[in-house]
């Protein structure tokens, strides 16, 4: 597919490739745009090697390599919290963790907590634990943590009111959606029965989300800031910078904004290439 920008002289040929297809000749590309490598967390080692490979070929990545590597592992939340930003309370369980579950409930101040991998997506290996069943659940948790690092967080009751997603292109706000789980569930993804609606948030919430973008996602083509409203304040769940669904069909101007942001990135790239 070929795209042309009417306001500049950029002509770009676009090819859709699967990141782990061994037949792809990556040497012929100048720019790679991550779209839906939604299996990267299941092939994490292979994905990291692929990033190293295309970086060694001087291929520009959108978003860039440093941002993607930082965002692939939820330990990045520690940096955000250390900078004084609000996040959902979190305790990290390193691979091989072998302690009792009850103290986790006490430290997080909740009778229900969520355990999820630090490298994951789509609620894979994400479970809810109840304080009353901590003893029988312990072996299940130990089995999961034996495979990698996990994060424990309280099951926030505000999830029933919806998870907010603020979408930005080149650092500029575009649109917001709210994802709500079906009754009796905590997962907001549509494959689990969740629903999506477009909203027009108050300016104060947009500005709050922008603070996360300006501090931790500078010069990114796309950023999705996910969180909950807790006592009238936005609290971060995660920043999505690798392969987020951008909900482009939920706002009439979203596709054009995304396109113009991409053109601007390509223009900057063209201007930075030595003659």
Cβ burial, residue 128 (10 Å; 0-12/13-18/19+): middle
pLDDT of the residue at 121: 80
pLDDT of the residue at 43: 94
pTM for this structure? 0.92
Alpha-carbon distance 182 to 193, whole Å? Answer: 5
pLDDT of the residue at 275: 42
pLDDT of the residue at 246: 97
257-269 pLDDT tens trace? 999 999 999 998 8
Signed CA dihedral, 109, 234, 76, 225: sign only: positive
Cβ burial, residue 11 (10 Å; 0-12/13-18/19+): exposed
Domains in the chain with CATH codes: 2-71 (no CATH), 91-155 (3.30.1490), 158-258 (3.30.470.20)
| Among the listed residues 215, 242, 213, the one whose alpha carbon sits nearest the alpha carbon of residue 61 | 242
| Among the listed residues 67, 1, 61, the one whose alpha carbon sits nearest the alpha carbon of residue 31 | 61
Strand, helix or coil for residue 126: coil
Contact 51, 68 (CB under 8 A): yes
- Intervals of the chain under pLDDT 50: 2, 275
């Amino acid at each position: 597919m070929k795209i042309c920008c009417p306001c500049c002289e950029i002509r770009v040929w676009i090819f859709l490739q699967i990141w782990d297809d061994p037949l792809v000749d990556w040497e012929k590309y100048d720019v790679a745009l991550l779209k839906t490598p939604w299996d990267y967390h299941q092939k994490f080692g292979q994905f990291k090697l692929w990033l190293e490979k295309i970086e060694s070929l001087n291929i520009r990545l959108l978003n860039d390599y440093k941002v993607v590597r930082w965002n692939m592992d939820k330990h990045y939340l520690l940096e955000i919290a250390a900078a004084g930003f609000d996040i959902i309370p979190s305790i990290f369980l390193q691979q091989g963790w072998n302690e009792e579950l009850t103290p986790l409930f006490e430290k997080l101040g909740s009778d229900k907590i969520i355990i999820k991998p630090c490298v994951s997506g789509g609620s894979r290996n994400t479970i809810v634990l109840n304080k009353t069943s901590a003893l029988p659940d312990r072996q299940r948790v130990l089995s999961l943590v034996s495979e990698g690092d996990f994060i424990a967080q309280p099951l926030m009751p505000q999830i029933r009111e919806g998870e907010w997603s603020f979408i930005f292109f080149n650092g500029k706000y575009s649109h917001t959606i709210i994802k709500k789980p079906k009754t009796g569930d905590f997962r907001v993804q549509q494959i689990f029965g969740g629903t999506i609606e477009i909203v027009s948030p108050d300016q104060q919430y947009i500005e709050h989300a922008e603070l996360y973008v300006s501090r931790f996602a500078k010069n990114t083509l796309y950023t999705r800031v996910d969180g909950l409203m807790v006592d009238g304040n936005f609290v971060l769940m995660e920043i999505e910078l690798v392969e987020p669904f951008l909900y482009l069909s939920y706002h009439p101007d979203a596709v054009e904004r995304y396109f113009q942001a991409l053109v601007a990135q390509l223009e900057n790239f063209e201007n930075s290439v030595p003659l």
